């Protein structure tokens, strides 16, 4: 029998009842609260800056957990999600209108909606969290209906009644103004209960309503003027592109080459 004192030193002391692990590593969780008006993104940036300043050993590393971890993961996935949504809308509109040009005209309404949503969140001192990002993604489907109503009518008039691009979009603006205003106002008033929600869970729904209302208001003010202008320029670009393709690929478009 070998006594324990021959291979180890022991003495009375304190030790934790359990050892926490994150993955395969021993971990210790440090919780923190946010000051009034501070955002989780700002807190995460300050924590990372403090970690870089104290020069921790290579064997010790820190990472966000809990709500902060979900926030960081959502930031990594948001650009991919928004790009995928825009790409899906572009493909669908391209198949619907048999055009590569006018889906871009319709999607041109999205930047104004995103800017409006961000401005509304800043105006009401609301964080741009995952719920606000969901509101921006919803705007992708809501805002483009203004341009769809005008572009769809203009394309129909141009193909069926042989109107020029200027006359077609002018008729579209006249006849589609009332339904555009009606649908936009209905969507804005539908988001009012979300923006003004209080009580249990109201803080979660509020960024969604504010982002939708801000995006709709700004896009409504801008797209009624910018969409017809962009339609004319994109139509001219499409005609120029067609002439260039007919010039360089005459056999593909049934045009006899010049002798």
pLDDT digits (tens, 9 = 90+) for 186-218: 888 888 888 887 777 777 788 888 888 888 888
Domain of 89: which CATH number?
A: 1.20.1640.10
pLDDT of 255 strictly over 70: no
pLDDT value at residue 204: 79
Residue 29 DSSP SS3? coil
Each residue's pLDDT tens digit, 114-124: 888 888 888 88
Over residues 39-67, mean pLDDT: 78
Q: By the 8 A CB rule, do 89 and 107 touch?
A: yes
Q: Confidence band (pLDDT; 50, 70, 90) for 64? A: confident
CA-closest candidate to residue 151, choices 187, 184, 175: 175
Q: Confidence band (pLDDT; 50, 70, 90) for 252? A: low
Percent of the chain clearing pLDDT 70 (strictly above): 92
Q: What is the mean pLDDT of the chain?
A: 81
Each residue's pLDDT tens digit, 75-97: 677 778 778 878 888 888 888 87
Q: Does residue 25 lie within any of the structural domains? A: no
Q: Does residue 29 lie within any of the structural domains? A: no
* Residue 14 Cα distances to 10, 11, 208, angstroms: 12, 10, 50
Percent of the chain clearing pLDDT 90 (strictly above): 0
Q: Does residue 58 lie within any of the structural domains? A: no
Q: Does residue 52 lie within any of the structural domains? A: no
Q: Does residue 179 lie within any of the structural domains? A: yes
Token pair, residue 45, equals 């940036």
pLDDT of 259 strictly over 50: no
State the residue range of the domain holding 175. 74-245
Q: Does residue 3 lie within any of the structural domains? A: no
Over residues 251-256, mean pLDDT: 55
Tracing tokens 């803080």 back to the chain, one arrives at 203
Counting the structural domains of the chain, the total is 1
pLDDT value at residue 89: 83
Q: By the 8 A CB rule, do 139 and 211 touch?
A: yes
pLDDT value at residue 253: 54
Each residue's pLDDT tens digit, 144-182: 888 888 888 888 888 888 888 888 888 888 888 898 889
pLDDT value at residue 254: 56
Over residues 39-58, mean pLDDT: 79
Run of H or E including 222: helix 202-248
**Among 59-68, 90-99, 125-134, 145-154, which stretch is predicted with the lowest mean pLDDT?**
59-68
- Cα dihedral 25, 30, 33, 35, rounded to 10, equals -100
Q: Confidence band (pLDDT; 50, 70, 90) for 183? A: confident
pLDDT of 258 strictly over 50: no
Q: Does residue 257 lie within any of the structural domains? A: no
Q: Does residue 7 lie within any of the structural domains? A: no
Rounded Cα distance, 43 and 185, in Å: 38
């Amino acid at each position: 029998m070998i006594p324990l004192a021959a291979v180890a030193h022991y003495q009375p002391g304190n030790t934790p009842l359990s050892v926490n692990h994150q993955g395969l590593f021993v971990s210790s969780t440090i919780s923190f609260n946010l000051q009034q008006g501070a955002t989780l993104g700002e807190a995460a940036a300050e924590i990372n800056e403090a970690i870089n300043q104290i020069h921790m050993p290579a064997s010790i590393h820190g990472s966000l957990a809990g709500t902060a971890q979900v926030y960081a993961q959502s930031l990594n996935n948001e650009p991919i999600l928004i790009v995928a949504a825009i790409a899906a809308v572009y493909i669908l509109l391209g198949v619907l209108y048999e055009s590569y040009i006018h889906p871009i005209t319709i999607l041109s309404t999205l930047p104004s909606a995103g800017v409006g949503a961000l401005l509304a969140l800043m105006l009401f001192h609301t964080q741009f969290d995952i719920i606000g990002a969901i509101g921006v993604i919803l705007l992708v489907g809501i805002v483009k209906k203004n341009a769809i109503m005008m572009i769809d009518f203009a394309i129909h008039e141009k193909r069926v009644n042989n109107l020029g691009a200027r006359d077609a979009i002018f008729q579209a603006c006249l006849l589609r103004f009332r339904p555009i205003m009606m649908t936009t106002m209905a969507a804005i008033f539908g988001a009012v209960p979300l923006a003004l929600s209080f009580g249990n869970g109201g803080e979660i729904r509020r960024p969604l309503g504010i982002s939708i209302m801000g995006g709709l208001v700004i896009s409504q003010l801008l797209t009624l003027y910018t969409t017809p202008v962009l339609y004319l320029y994109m139509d001219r670009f499409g005609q120029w592109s067609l002439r260039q393709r007919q010039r360089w690929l005459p056999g593909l478009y049934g045009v006899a080459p010049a002798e």
